[in-house]
Amino acid sequence: NAGVTQTPKFQVLKTGQSMTLQCAQDMNHEYMSWYRQDPGMGLRLIHYSVGAGITDQGEVPNGYNVSRSTTEDFPLRLLSAAPSQTSVYFCASSRGGGLAKNIQYFGAGTRLSVL
Amino acid sequence: LAKTTQPISMDSYEGQEVNITCSHNNIATNDYITWYQQFPSQGPRFIIQGYKTKVTNEVASLFIPADRKSSTLSLPRVSLSDTAVYYCLVGSTGGGNKLTFGTGTQLKVEL
């Protein structure tokens, strides 16, 4: 059972470049979410989805886009990368009923550097 | 959003009980309290969750006082493998899926 799979594990971008961070889960979870983790800070919610076709903003959504066409996949897009987006990104999935109420299963993360 | 505060770091020895407290003074009625463990280069992993009073599972206990303005994660008889960062999460089950992770407590366990 793979759980939550994130690709790539590492990525280096130049300012202004675009890229998509991939996230897939095989647990048939309704909820999926993206977080960023910066040194000395906790995880901050970027965007989340409560089901296919439904997404919403979290605490720090600016500069990121998401869509959810299937239950399994929830990609995160950076349209024009900025150095401030250098971070470690985590994808998570959970059952329905609320992000905070249910156990979230996290991927291993993508370490992104924007030069 | 509830604001959370945790100690930055704690040190312990194998076999001791470790208590990590998270302060969340403005917790809302609908908020749950959850603790996660994170090892280097891995995503966080669920430890325990509670709403009030005491919750215990096979790895930890969670103590929540009546006013719910803080919570304490208790790890009994820690071992070297418990060296990790521990995060408390406070979040609403109501509309909007608002949640706040603490900044994490680095626990170091030594022989």
Q: Which of A9, A46, A99 to probe by mutation at the B interface, max B CB count within 10 Å?
A: A99
Instruction: Report the chain B residue with the minimal C-alpha distance to residue A92.
Output: B43
Tell me the Ramachandran region of residue A50: left when phi exceeds 0, alpha when psi lies from -120 to 50, beta otherwise: alpha
Measured in whole angstroms, the distance separating CA A88 from the mean position of its chain's CA atoms is 10
Q: Do A98 and B93 touch (CB under 8 A)?
A: yes
Q: Is B91 helix (H, G, I), strand (E, B) or coil?
A: strand
Q: Do B93 and A106 touch (CB under 8 A)?
A: no
Give the minimum alpha-carbon distance from A85 to chain B in angstroms, rounded to a whole number.
18
Q: Do B42 and A44 touch (CB under 8 A)?
A: no
Task: Give chain A's radius of gyration (CA, Å).
Answer: 13
- C-alpha distances out from residue B52 to B24, B63, B75, Å: 13, 8, 18
How many CB pairs lie under 8 A apart between chains A and B? 67
Task: Say how far apart CA A108 and CA A95 lie, in whole Å.
Answer: 19
- Say if residue B94's pLDDT is above 70: no
Tell me the pLDDT of chain B averaged across its residues.
92
Q: Do B93 and A48 touch (CB under 8 A)?
A: no
DSSP conformation class of B19: E
Q: Which of A52-56, A74-78, A99-103 has the lowest mean pLDDT?
A: A99-103
Q: Where are the beta strands (DSSP E) in B17-68?
A: 18-23, 31-38, 45-50, 53-56, 61-64
Amino acid at B89: L
Task: Say how far apart CA B31 and CA B97 lie, in whole Å.
Answer: 10
- C-alpha distances out from residue A59 to A15, A33, A45, Å: 23, 12, 5
Give the minimum alpha-carbon distance from B39 to chain A in angstroms, rounded to a whole number.
10
The encoded tokens of residue A64 equal 């990121």
HSE at residue A69, side-chain half, CA atoms within 13 A, is 3
Those residues with Cβ within 8 angstroms of residue B58's Cβ, 6 or more apart along the chain or in another chain: none
pLDDT of residue B1: 67
Q: Do B99 and A100 touch (CB under 8 A)?
A: yes
Q: Do B91 and A41 touch (CB under 8 A)?
A: no
Tell me the chain A residues in contact with residue B87 when contact means C-beta distances shorter than 8 Å. 42-43
Q: Are strands A31-37 and A10-13 parallel, antiparallel or unpaired?
A: unpaired
Q: Which of A3-7, A99-103, B33-37 has the lowest mean pLDDT?
A: A99-103
pLDDT of residue B96: 64
pLDDT of residue B51: 93
- Say if residue A95's pLDDT is above 70: yes
Q: Are strands A110-114 and A10-13 parallel, antiparallel or unpaired?
A: parallel
pLDDT of residue A5: 97
Q: Which of A10-24, A53-67, A91-105, B32-46 has the lowest mean pLDDT?
A: A91-105
Say whether residue A55 is in contact with chain B using an 8 A CB cutoff. Answer: no
